[in-house]
């Protein structure tokens, strides 16, 4: 049977090997769009931000997994462990908020709801998205900073787990840090993204029903782009849900299950890269054109 350390090492190397070329293509593809058109659409801006964030996240998580598998003594250095864990939380929370802003953009673009709040969201996403993403990163950083002390406190508790006097106050501090951080960094964007998914789905279902029951003879519009947007939000929310489940498992103190979910998290960034590729026709065309041109030049030479 494969040991937990060996499985973590394999998942770390495999996740890094899949994520680096995938997200490099996403980042370079969007930079190519900027070079040709001079401006990115809101979805492309979010995809570019997700590419950078997920690439950094995968690198840090893979390094942490390799340290855990190869040298557990280094993994037990408190300062290094606390810094890497806090950085992972920051990137993960920010990625979740990027998912929400992508869902909000799809929702406000597809549904065209006339409520004042949705009009306001559509306006700021369309006109001030770069400022919005910067402010979101700043807010997530403020939320993640208390996690530095939370992880430090948790590490102290785990180091004294064999002693009989584990402080109840220390346990209370850990939960008092983790609960607000996970609420603002994970639960809130998840609920907002789920709301956007429900609103967008209900709008499209009503729209299709009206078109089917329309007696004016008008042709049915092409809904492929809308279906792709819904599929993108749905898959991103599945990855979102997986993270929440893994967090619950980690709090249950089941070591084997925690390591198992951690190994799957090491591969989740590559799954999200695939979701981004299926959502962007421009990225697929750019990457296919580059590979096609390169292979054609190689065959000529």
> What are the pLDDT digits (tens) for 137-176?
999 998 887 655 555 555 544 444 444 444 444 444 555 6
pLDDT one-digit tens code per residue, 189-245: 999 999 989 988 888 888 778 767 765 444 455 677 888 888 999 999 998 888 777
pTM to 2 decimals? 0.84
Q: Where are the alpha helices (DSSP H) in 71-127?
A: 72-75, 78-111, 116-127
Candidates 55, 109, 47; CA nearest to 283 is: 47
- How many domains is the chain built from? 1
* The total number of residues written for the chain in this structure: 301
| pLDDT > 90? residue 134 | yes
Tokens of 44: 């492309």
Report how many helices (DSSP H) and strands (DSSP E) the chain contains, helices first.
11, 0
Report the b/e string of 258-279 with b at 16+ CB within 10 A.
bbbbbbbbbebbbbbbebbbeb
Q: How far is residue 166's CA from residue 125's CA, in Å, rounded to a whole number?
A: 48
- Cα torsion 185, 187, 190, 195: sign: negative
Kindly state the tokens that stand for 237. Answer: 């929310």
Helices 129-159 and 168-182 cross at an angle (nearest 10°) of 160
Give the angle subtended at the CA of 253 by the CAs of 248 and 258, to the nearest 5°.
65
Tell me the longest C-alpha to C-alpha distance in the chain. Answer: 78
CATH number at residue 207: 1.20.1070.10
% helix / strand / coil in the chain, to the nearest 5?
85, 0, 15
Q: Which domain holds residue 201?
A: 4-300
pLDDT at 251 over 90: no
CA distances from 178 to 3, 70, 171, 240 (A): 30, 29, 11, 17
Residue 1's pLDDT band (boundaries 50, 70, 90)? very low
């Amino acid at each position: 049977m494969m040991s937990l350390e060996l499985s973590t090492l394999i998942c770390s190397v495999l996740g890094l090997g899949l994520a680096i070329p995938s997200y490099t293509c996403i980042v370079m593809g969007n930079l190519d769009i900027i070079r040709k058109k001079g401006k990115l659409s809101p979805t492309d801006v979010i995809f570019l931000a997700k590419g950078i964030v997920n690439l950094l996240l995968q690198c840090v998580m893979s390094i942490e997994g390799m340290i855990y598998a190869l040298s557990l003594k280094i993994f037990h250095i408190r300062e290094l462990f606390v810094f890497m864990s806090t950085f992972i939380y920051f990137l993960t929370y920010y990625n979740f908020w990027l998912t929400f802003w992508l869902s909000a953009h799809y929702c406000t673009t597809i549904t065209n709801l006339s409520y004042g709040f949705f009009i306001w969201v559509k306006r700021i996403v369309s006109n001030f998205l770069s400022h919005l993403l910067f402010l979101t990163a700043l807010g997530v950083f403020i939320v993640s900073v208390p996690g530095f002390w939370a992880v430090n406190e948790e590490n102290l508790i785990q180091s004294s787990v064999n002693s009989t006097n584990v402080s109840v106050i220390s346990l209370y501090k850990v939960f008092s840090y983790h609960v607000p951080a996970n609420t603002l960094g994970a639960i809130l964007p998840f609920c907002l993204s789920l709301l956007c998914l429900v609103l967008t789905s209900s709008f499209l279902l009503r729209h299709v029903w009206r078109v089917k029951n329309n007696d004016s003879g008008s042709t049915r519009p092409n809904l492929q782009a809308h279906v792709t947007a819904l599929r993108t939000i749905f898959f991103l929310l599945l990855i979102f849900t997986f993270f929440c489940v893994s967090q619950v498992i980690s709090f249950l103190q089941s070591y084997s299950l925690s390591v198992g979910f951690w190994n799957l998290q090491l591969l989740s960034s590559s799954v999200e890269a695939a979701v981004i590729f299926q959502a962007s026709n421009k990225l697929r065309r750019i990457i296919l054109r580059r590979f096609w041109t390169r292979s054609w030049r190689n065959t000529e030479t």
